[in-house]
Amino acid sequence: MRRLGVHTSIAGGLHLSLKRAEGLGCNTVQIFSHNPRGWDRRPLKEDEVRRFRELAAALDIRPVFIHSSYLVNLASPDRGVRRRSIELLTHELRTAGLLGADYLVLHPGRAVGQDIGTAIRKASEALTVSYDKAGGGTGLLLENTAGQRGDISSTIPLIAEIIAGTPPGCIRGVCLDTCHAYAAGYDIGDIKVLEGLEREIKEYLNPLRVELIHLNDSRRPLASGVDRHEHIGEGGIGLAGFRRFLSFPLFRETPLILETPKESDRDDIRNLDRVRKILARLDTLPQRTRKY
């Protein structure tokens, strides 16, 4: 069964994020482990950890993905920000390990006026420090970004450069965000582009893989360099583009997490329904006759 989920709220308790996922019919989930817009952090209580782990197992919600704080910038030229970023990422890795999460998803940072090579080196070094301090454990996934000014992870070759500066085991794979890829210039609804993307992944990341897909449409046009998520089928990628993307062999079994705009639970229901209809249609087609 294809693993499909959304990013759910931890309001009221970490375990309630799993209940919310179950209520939406999801079998995988992504959460924040704390307020993603603040530096404050607290140790988890034993009963919090136990309830989360037991409920995830009981509901068969897996993999469990935790998204790192938006404040983390491992490449920052500001020593204070970089130090706090390393400390927060270390805490998040430890928290993810306690909760039994499978992966921690991370935007590695932005150059902020630096040479991109310098920024990549700083990010690699900071990842190494956090990984060592946390004692390994939960796998880190680097997420591609939208190509905004200063981005250091908007392409597969750039992500590979960051990984190359880290020790074996530090990075376990990549999270591919469809909106970010589209904004960075990858027209993921085009079969030729998908084939080129597959070649890049195999050339630059092997033996690592894409372990998670953030499935989002893009409010802005191709190669805009602007990160603006849109509801599935209502942006530049469109329903036809998602049908081609989701049927592409390389990504056919990769877990999907939606991060589409959300004003109410009905938005999640609507977007999940659209994706399920696409997947159901693909499942009825014989393998040899699928149109990419």
Domains of the chain: 4-289 (3.20.20.150)
User: What end-to-end distance do the CA atoms of the chain give, in Å?
Assistant: 21
Output the average pLDDT for the chain.
95
- pLDDT (mean) for 87-104: 97
pLDDT of residue 105: 98
Strand stretches in the chain, DSSP E: 4-6, 29-31, 64-67, 103-106, 139-143, 171-177, 210-215, 217-218, 229-230, 256-258
- pLDDT (mean) for 89-106: 97
What pTM did the predictor assign?
0.95
Q: Smallest Cα–Cα separation from 170: which of 112, 233, 221, 103?
A: 103
Asked if the model's pLDDT at residue 285 lies above 80, the reply is: no
Q: pLDDT tens-digit profile of 61-93?
A: 999 999 999 999 999 999 999 999 999 999 999
pLDDT of residue 288: 42
Length of the chain, please? Answer: 292
Q: pLDDT tens-digit profile of 138-189?
A: 999 999 999 999 999 999 999 999 999 999 999 999 999 999 999 999 999 9
